[in-house]
Chains A and B, each alone.
Chain A
Amino acid sequence: MAGFAPESSRIPEVQRVDARETDYLRDERSPNKFLVHRKVFTDQQVFETERRKVFDKCWIYVGHESEIPKPGDFVAREIAGRPVLFTRNKDQEVRVLLNSCSHRGAEVCRERRGNQKRFRCFYHSWAFSNDGDLINMPDEGGFPEGFRKEDHGLAKPEQVDSYRGFVFATFNPEQEPLEEYLSDAKYYLDLTADQASGEQGMVVTRGTHEYSMRSNWKLLAENSSDGYHAIPVHKTYLDVQRSRGDDIAGHTEKDWKESHAFDLGNGHTVTVKRAPWGRPVARWTPSMGEDTKKTVERSHQRLIEAHGEERAEMISNLDFNMLIFPNLVLNNIMAVIIRTFYPNQPGHMNVTAFSLAPGDEDEPARRVRNESFLSFLGPAGLATPDDNEALESCQRGYEARPGECWSDVSRGMDKADPANWDELQMRTFWRRWDTLMGEEA
């Protein structure tokens, strides 16, 4: 399985990256050391600053095009702390509109999803198109001379763009184009999008996991690709899979094969491996049940037909956990999960997660996928709730010595080819975060 390693992986991290010492990070050489100051998880000032310097600067994931397939479709959600409407207009174009009336600020839509051409604000009845233009209002003649409707549309992000169905927005007029920003992460978005061999492509399924953690958002950025915690935290998941017949040793090096961690540029990271679980797209394991074997094999066969042996092998068997900086996780593991999170306090975040599946999947295949997803993932799954507890426990622990303690993130930093149970992925995130925090606003 070659072709997935970025250029940066040829040079060991400590040779490639300069040492640094800031208010938040100690990234030292000889001896090699990587420390993160714990005030980054608790401090109100840090929280205010990262809203401006991180979330208002970067490209932020909005949603997947499949969530609004038809003209007039819309979904209301929050991105980077702002209420938005994710819409499709009559010309099939995707729009992102701030859900706050240009008149006095009320939400112009209070439904969570639906299909409508117009959004009428209930406060004074101004009506907007799903492009965000102000169409009409009662007693238009009462406004002073020079009042022009075209000046009063709904506010929009500075830029909106998409890559293979994944839609992003940024509030930064200077932000580089999306494709450049995504850098080597594109390779893994392609691998994911290519799981669908049918015309519909990959689609977000109905049913959203909307949950929360009483912990800092950066802990989830770390945790979502932290291979080191898998055995101690997710022992119950692994035990259950083992009692259902899977070959699981409960031992890091034995269960995670061909594992690497990569720096994908711009703070994006990925860990790749061949994990001990099954993959509904093409890797059957006994825990999935004998009756599902044919369904999974059929899916594998279709991938070979669509992409050829070599590419199909990557799509089928490469497990990866990717973080697109700052707050989009795309884990292509026992199912494909899209997960975003945003802090509303230093010690609290809202998490939203979706399942991404081939659009032409039939009922038996979807059944396999949903069971595989829920065997691990989600706020009622067999693993994710324990991540919640681990992160919340860290956050409670930070009260122990406020303002004077450092967390260690140095594992594997002197290795030439670190694995997913090392911490290159987290250091890559932290360096990017620290760089942005150090820039002029």
Chain B
Amino acid sequence: MSFRYPEDQQVSSEKFTRSEVEDFLYYEAQLLDAWKLEEWHDLFAEDGHYIVPSTDNPDGDLKMDLALIDDDMEGIRGRVQRLMSTYAHIENPRSRTRRMISNVRLWDHEDGELGVRCSVVVHRSRVPGTTSYVADVHYRLRKQDDSFKIAFKHAMLDHHTLRDVGGVLSIVL
């Protein structure tokens, strides 16, 4: 099965429960809302990848097309290093963010990884105003010890452009 949750079927995981996966997703959201970005970085597997496609090309070719964010672990490290510095001017002072996660669906991949799809709203508040990003987020998770590692996080924004949401995407979704 592809990395997408099938649109026309109802599937679930035989190995994992929704509540343990939700616990993990809520933990990730908690770290991001608290700006614990180094800890967030550690949630990824060594070959982890984080992608946000361009808003006009949500279903594009992940290998060839220009995305908004296309970070391998080196990229994620750079992003975290930048955002934790006081010289990331657009995030200084830092946005307050509040993530809402729902409609969590699971499915088992043949290779043992777990597919997860959820709907996410991230409210971002700054002195000049508040905006909200709405995204359809897919994960591939790998069980490790008593938690998970993120092998792949793919966040598709619903917005047709970033103009509706304050102009840029300077935070992690």
Which residues of A come within 8 Å of B, CB atoms?
A: 112, 205-214, 233, 235-237, 239-240, 243-244, 289, 350, 354-355, 363, 366-367, 370-371, 373-375, 378-380, 382, 384-386, 388-390, 392, 396
Contacts and interface: CB of A to CB of B under 8 A. Distances in A.
**Interface footprint category on B:** 35 or more
Interface stretch (B26-34, B47-55, B114-122, B137-145): B47-55
Given A371-B75, A396-B128, A386 B68 contact: no
B87 A385 contact: no
A207 B53 contact: yes
Q: Is the interface of B mostly helix, strand, loop or mixed?
A: loop
B169 interface: yes
A390 B167 CA distance: 13
B162 A379 contact: yes
B2 interface: no
B46 to A, nearest CB: 15
Contacts of A354: 66
B167 A207 contact: no
Nearest to B167: A212
Interface of B: 52-57, 60-61, 63-70, 72, 74-75, 78-79, 81-82, 85, 87-90, 128, 160-163, 167-170
A382 B78 contact: yes
A211 B169 CA distance: 9
Most buried by A among B54, B55, B81: B54
A385 B78 contact: no
A240 B67 contact: no
Most buried by A among B53, B74, B167: B167
Contacts of B167: 211-214, 379, 388
B90 A386 contact: yes
Given A210-B162, A214-B128, A379 B70 contact: no
28 contacts: A205-B65, A206-B54, A207-B56, A207-B66, A209-B66, A212-B163, A213-B167, A233-B89, A236-B82, A237-B82, A239-B85, A240-B81, A243-B81, A244-B74, A244-B78, A355-B66, A363-B64, A371-B72, A371-B75, A374-B68, A379-B162, A380-B170, A382-B78, A382-B79, A386-B89, A388-B90, A388-B170, A389-B90
A363 B63 contact: yes
A240 B52 CA distance: 20
Contacts of B65: 205-207, 370
A244 B53 CA distance: 24
A370 to B, nearest CB: 6
Most buried by A among B65, B72, B82: B82
A208 B54 contact: yes
